[in-house]
Each structure stands twice: as C-alpha cells, then as structure tokens.
Amino acid sequence: MTSAEPGSPAWTDAYLVAALFAIDPTGLGGVVVRGPPGPARDGWTSMARSLLAPDAPVRRIPANIGDDRLLGGLDLAASLAARKPIVQRGVLAESDGGVVILPMAERIDAATAAKICAALDQGEVALERDGLASRQSARFGVIAFDEGLGADEQPPAALLDRVAFHLDLAAFGCREPLSQGPGPREVEQARCCVDQVAPAETPIIEALCAISQRLGVESARPALLALRAARAHAALQGRREIIAEDAAAAARLVLGPRASTCPDETQESAEPRAVDEAVPPADTELESRSEQPEEAKAQDGTEMVIAAIQAALPDDLISRMAMDRQVRAPAARAVGAGDRSTSASRGRPVGSRSGPLRAGARLNLIDTLRAALPWQALRDRGSAERRIEVRASDFRIRRYVQRRNSTTIFVVDASGSTAFQRLAEAKGAVELLLAKAYVTRSHVALISFRGACAETLLPPTRSLARAKARLADLPGGGGTPMAAGMDSALTLALAERARGRSPLMVLLTDGRANIGRDGAPSRASAESDAVASARQIQEAGIAAVFVDTSPRPAPDADRFARAMGATYAPLPYLDAAAVLEVVGEQRALGR
C-alpha cells in the first residue's frame, strides 16, 4: 500500500474528521486513530487539539489507571486533615466539556473500558465508593490511539462501537500533514450553530440506515453517529438543514471504515416492483401516485440519497476491506503463557481486599485509611486528640496475580508405517515451540509410544540445542500402546503441576490403539484401557489437545478426545505449523 501524501483524498478526510469531531466531541463520541507513533499521528493530533474550544479541558488516561483516579473518590490528604471524607474528582469528571486521550487503547482492560463507555452513554460519573455517593457531570469526547498489530490487539469492542470515526493513519507515511483543512474560526462558527441545524428528514434517516445495513454494520449506533456527523457537516458548510451531501460525507467517514461487505451496486430502486409481472399502464401509475404522493416522494427521496451516498463511498472500498482483514488477521499467538494464579507477595498488583493481617500478607495502607475515614465521626466519641482510629475491619490486603510457567507435553504415536512422517512433524513443532520459549518462559517435553511401552524422549526443557540433539534420531514402528502413552503423559503433567507449572498435553495419533496396558496385542482391551486413561486425564483437570493424524477423521479418535475432555483437531495433512497453531489457540483460551 502506498503512503498517503498531504493533500490527497485520505488526508482531506483526516482533516474533515478532526473538524467534525471538534464541532461536536460529546455527540460524536470520539475518534480511534490507528497507526504507530510518528509525525503523521502527532501532526493530526495537534491539528485536532487546535480546533477544539479554547477552554475545553484535555486529559490523558493511561491504560493502567485506577478507579480512584478515573472515577474519583476520597481525597486522602484533605480527608486526613479535616478528619472527614472529602470528595476528589476523577479524570472523567475533570474532562467535562472536553476530550480524554487514551494512549495505547488496545491495552485498556475491559473493566476500565466499561467505565469509560458508561460515562459516554450517561454523560455523568456515578461515584459510589469509599463511603461516598455522588454524581458528577462528565460529557466528553475520546481520542483513542490504537497501536495494535493483530485482531487480538485492538481497543475493546464496546469503545469502538461508541466512537464515530475510525481513522487509519498507518498508511500515511512519515510526513507531517499540512494545514489544509477547515480553520479554527470556521469550526468555532459551526460549533456555535450546530444546535440550530434542523433534524434530518425521513429520506436521510432511512438512507443512512439502509447503507449501514448494506455495508454489513451490525450495530445500530454507527447509523446514529453518522446522523450526528451529517448535522456537524451541515453546520460546517453553513447550512441549517441536512442534505444528501452531508449524509454522503457522514456515511463515508463513519460507516465506510466499519464496512464488512460491499454494497450491491446493482440493487435498483425498483425492487418493490419486482413482485409485479407486468408494468402497469401509464394512467394507472399516475393515479396511484396521485393517491399516495407523500409515500412516493419519500421513496424517491430515499433512493436518491442512497445513490448519492454510494457514489461518495471510496472506490477502493473492497481493497481496503481486504487489506484491513489482512492487517488485522490474528497474529502468532503466544504458545507458552500459563494459567493465572493469585499470590500474596508476587506478580502484578490487582487491587486490595478486606482481610486479616496474616503472615506473608501485605497491608495496603492507603486503602486501609480510605476504609477507616468514613467511620471517624462515630469513633471519635468527643476525643480531643486528632488521630485516625483504624480497626481490624478496615484492613485492606494487597492482591497480586501472576502467570505460571507452562509445559507443553507432546505425546506422539510412533507406531506403524507412517510413524516417520508424524515424528518429523512433531520434531518441527517442538523446535518451533522452543524458539518461542525464551519469550514465554515455557517448557517442552516429548513422549513417544510404540511397541509395548512409552518412552520419554525429551524431559521438560527450554534448551533448543539439547532438544535438537535428543530429537536427531527418533525411533518408530511397532504396535500402538495408547494407554501407556497417556499414562506416562499424565504422570509427567502431574509432576509439572506440582512444580508450579501449567501443563498442556498434545496427543498426536490416529486413535487406532491395539496394545493394552499389559503389553498384550488386543484391540478391544487396548481401546478400553485407552478410554480409562483418557478419563483419568480429564478427572485430573489436565488441559489437552487431541490431534487426529489419520487420513480421514476417525470416530475412535473423537471418542478418545471426548473422554479426555480435550480439544479435537483432525489434521489429516499434518505439518509443524498446523500443530503450533492449534497449541497456540489452546493456550490463548487459557486452558
């Protein structure tokens, strides 16, 4: 994709987005600016801020902000001095009438995004914490910077749905934009008269809803935001009513970036007539029009507006959608992240909770004082000493969350004539996992089963050199003792769990067990033993993936997978990349 030069249609739309947002930041919700930091993004941000009202507050909200700073709460210093609760405004309330900036919006957690979205919907912040209860006005717009690279790195969907504009600056190159858009004086004039723009007529509303449906926009909010954008565009052009040109610009800027399908250009306005097999005579048509003139005019007006909007959509809409899907395709998932576990002293802090001061617990002094302050009026009892009385019920203990290291255990069926292919692909998958182990702190182990027993070829390790040395010559051939392989894998998984790691079992087999636990060749006993071993894995709570390597998905393999409680992945054409993708998806699910 070529970079957009200043003065190009892409930059013209970027200027227009900044101007419309500055006219009505509260009504339009905000702008999500996608792209890495650079002159293009900095220049657009500076331009957008210069177009805002001079007295509009601008606040930045970091991704790791706490509720006490976001929503407000107890002013601890003032409350300690006054010995009574003093309310402190949060960032959202401080931004009333202005704009909040969200750097690295793709890293904002769902809870913080939900609080911001609630303030956008209600126009106020409901403060009910620290013994306080108040409502503060919080009408603001949002500028969210999206620096994510894949579909799993993007701002929360609730936030994306509530902002009008999705602006992509990733292809704008490194050149700083030129000031070629509406100036501050034009925007200020439009801001003063935007409330005087008459409500949109029915054809405009119906056309925006129809275009939203044809573009595959699932939510109803974008159509409402497009209507507000059309009103701001009319005010910017000095009009007191919304016309088709305003609706077309709003659809291009609000609905176009959200498109998931391309509108059918062959769809004609004569669809309602398709039910009639013959065209009515001219006099009959004139008579029907005379009977329902308003409906006919409304229908014709709607179709005219729809045609104008479709003509205003970018010509390269289909290519943009394809490029966006390619850029937003799921990135390579981390395949070693273990389960989360709570800790009293190690990990990432996640707030505090009420509890006793036991050995190893860490007291959160600030939160403890916050909990004690509202009760001082009752605990004072006329004492002349200015002190804060803290009781055991006020204690707040710090909480931490940390991810445990993980161990991926490959259990490979090394029997039969196709064993060499399966072992080669298992070797490739193990090496790919080891290459990522230094990032995720994960371990990899390899167990093969053939003949009458199972063998641990590679104990849990993160050493790539050691793994390659042990995997150089993998034996193959013989029967299929599936139960023995599952038992060995279960023993190793339980041992890894006892070491504080999170085990994941990956079983690669065609599911054709023919050797029982006793080593005797019997298909019936081998299958019953394999089912029993699989159920033990499920009862132990070991996460597992059953990779079916047979040329066609086998019913027995699916039965074993269900007995294990494992994810069933039929891969008749097995390769290392496919195995790695399945394991990564399983790790991403947190299992």
Q: Where are the domains of the chain?
A: 9-182, 197-267+287-331, 337-402, 405-588
Q: Which candidate, 448, 437, 467, 440, places its Cα nearest to that of 410?
A: 448
Asked whether the domain spanning 405-588 has the same topology as the one spanning 9-182, the reply is: yes
> What b/e readout covers 270-293, taking b as 16+ CB neighbours within 10 angstroms?
eeeeeeeeeeeeeeeeeeeeeeee
Are the C-beta atoms of residues 109 and 348 closer than 8 Å to each other?
no
CA–CA separation, 565 and 534 (whole Å): 8
H/E segment holding residue 309: helix 293-312
Are the C-beta atoms of residues 119 and 138 closer than 8 Å to each other?
yes
Both tokens of 420, joined, read 């060499």
pLDDT per residue rounded down to tens, the chain (591 residues): 445 555 566 778 888 999 999 999 999 999 999 888 888 888 888 889 999 998 899 999 988 888 888 888 777 778 777 777 777 888 999 999 999 999 988 888 888 999 999 999 999 988 777 667 788 899 999 999 998 765 557 889 899 999 999 988 876 655 555 556 688 899 999 999 999 998 888 888 888 888 888 888 888 899 999 999 999 999 999 999 999 889 888 888 998 888 877 665 434 433 444 334 444 444 444 444 445 555 554 555 567 666 766 666 665 554 555 455 444 443 333 344 445 555 555 666 667 778 887 777 788 887 888 788 877 777 776 665 667 788 888 888 887 776 667 888 888 887 764 555 566 666 676 677 666 655 566 788 888 888 888 888 888 887 767 777 776 666 667 788 888 989 999 999 999 888 888 888 888 887 888 888 888 888 888 888 889 999 999 999 888 888 887 777 777 788 888 888 888 877 665 566 666 666 666 665 554
Residue range 405-588 forms a domain whose CATH class is: alpha beta
Residue range 9-182 forms a domain whose CATH class is: alpha beta
Are the C-beta atoms of residues 490 and 539 closer than 8 Å to each other?
no
Q: What is the pTM of this model?
A: 0.59
Question: Please, which residues have CB within 8 angstroms of residue 527's CB and are 6 or more apart in sequence?
Answer: 513, 556
> What b/e readout covers 504-515, taking b as 16+ CB neighbours within 10 angstroms?
bbbbbbbbbbbb
Read off φ and ψ for residue 359, nearest 5 degrees: -65, 130
Question: Please, which residues have CB within 8 angstroms of residue 67's CB and are 6 or more apart in sequence?
Answer: 73, 115, 129
Read off φ and ψ for residue 350, nearest 5 degrees: -130, 40
> What b/e readout covers 478-489, taking b as 16+ CB neighbours within 10 angstroms?
bbbbbbbbbbbb
